[in-house]
Chains A and B, each alone.
Chain A
Amino acid sequence: QSALTQPASVSGSPGQSITFSCTGTSNDVGGYNYVSWYQQYPGEAPRLMIYDVTNRPSGVSNRFSGSKSGNTASLTISGLQAEDEADYYCSSYTSSGTLEFGGGTKLTVV
């Protein structure tokens, strides 16, 4: 069982906005602004989409945005596209001096 809780799956239609949640504790998500989000296609390596809760790396579409409230971080994809269909993982630094990942959310674009 992963330390950070993510819903197993979400679905949306093209053009919609969709939000993923990542729930931890005050020892990880709630205690630090070191939450990142990753996109992973089957058989490929993860790709960084958001770092430090809200920041987008160069080359990532501005349709992706991040936020945090208390112990829950969120990733929002606006203007959903078919190519967004993938697995999404959150990750956070922890007070134990380790990293944690969520169990991942499978996004289906219907």
Chain B
Amino acid sequence: QVQLVESGGGVVQPGGSLRLSCAASGFTFSTYGMHWVRQAPGKGLEWVAFIRLDGSHEYYADSVKGRFTISRENPKNTLYLQLNSLRPDDTAVYYCAKDRLNHLLPPEYWGQGTLVIVSS
């Protein structure tokens, strides 16, 4: 079965950086696009970024463009999100999610998430 396991969350100061990882299993990782979606405490879901199956194209929400970078290592079945210039409003649970295809569609499967807290 599809498994997505995020890691790398933690507490970071404003202006700091963090790299999140997502280990994928149970499907052929290199044949699907992948997303990051976040959820601030007590709030709704916010799409963050998408990367095509071969890493050829990346797409970002305006709120993170220029600060966050999505990437993937297909031989390692791993998705990444580099978070730079972090702000308190970036505090959220960050979910890794699998696309149904490679078309930037609403995700099919989600990991359990990793919590990022931006605070001094």
Give A contacts to B, CB under 8 Å: 2, 34-36, 38, 44-48, 51, 57, 89, 91-93, 97-104
Query: Is B29 interfacial (CB-CB < 8 Å)?
Result: no
Contacts of B46 in A (CB 8 A): 101
Contacts of A93 in B (CB 8 A): 104-106
- Complex: chain B residue closest to A87, CB-CB: B44
A2–B106 contact, CB under 8 A? no
Q: Which DSSP category, helix, strand, loop or mixed, fits chain A's interface?
A: strand
Contacts of B44 in A (CB 8 A): 2, 89, 101-104
> 1/0 per residue B34-78: CB within 8 Å of A?
010100000011110010000000010100000000000000000
Query: Is B80 interfacial (CB-CB < 8 Å)?
Result: no
Q: Which of A34, A38, A45, A100 is in CB contact (< 8 Å) with B47?
A: A100
- Complex: chain B residue closest to A101, CB-CB: B45
Chain B nearest CB from A106 CB (Å) reads 11
Query: Is B108 interfacial (CB-CB < 8 Å)?
Result: yes
Contacts of A34 in B (CB 8 A): 105-106
Count of B interface residues, CB-CB < 8 Å: 21
Chain B nearest CB from A41 CB (Å) reads 12
Query: Is B110 interfacial (CB-CB < 8 Å)?
Result: yes
B108–A104 contact, CB under 8 A? no
Query: Is B107 interfacial (CB-CB < 8 Å)?
Result: yes
B111–A36 contact, CB under 8 A? no
Chain B positions 92-120 with a Cβ under 8 Å from a chain A Cβ? 95, 100, 104-113
Chain A nearest CB from B64 CB (Å) reads 11
B108–A99 contact, CB under 8 A? no
* Distance A47 CA – B108 CA, assembled complex (angstroms): 8
* Distance A105 CA – B37 CA, assembled complex (angstroms): 18
Chain B nearest CB from A26 CB (Å) reads 18
Those 5 A-B pairs whose CB atoms lie nearest each other, nearest first: A36-B106, A91-B106, A99-B47, A45-B110, A101-B45
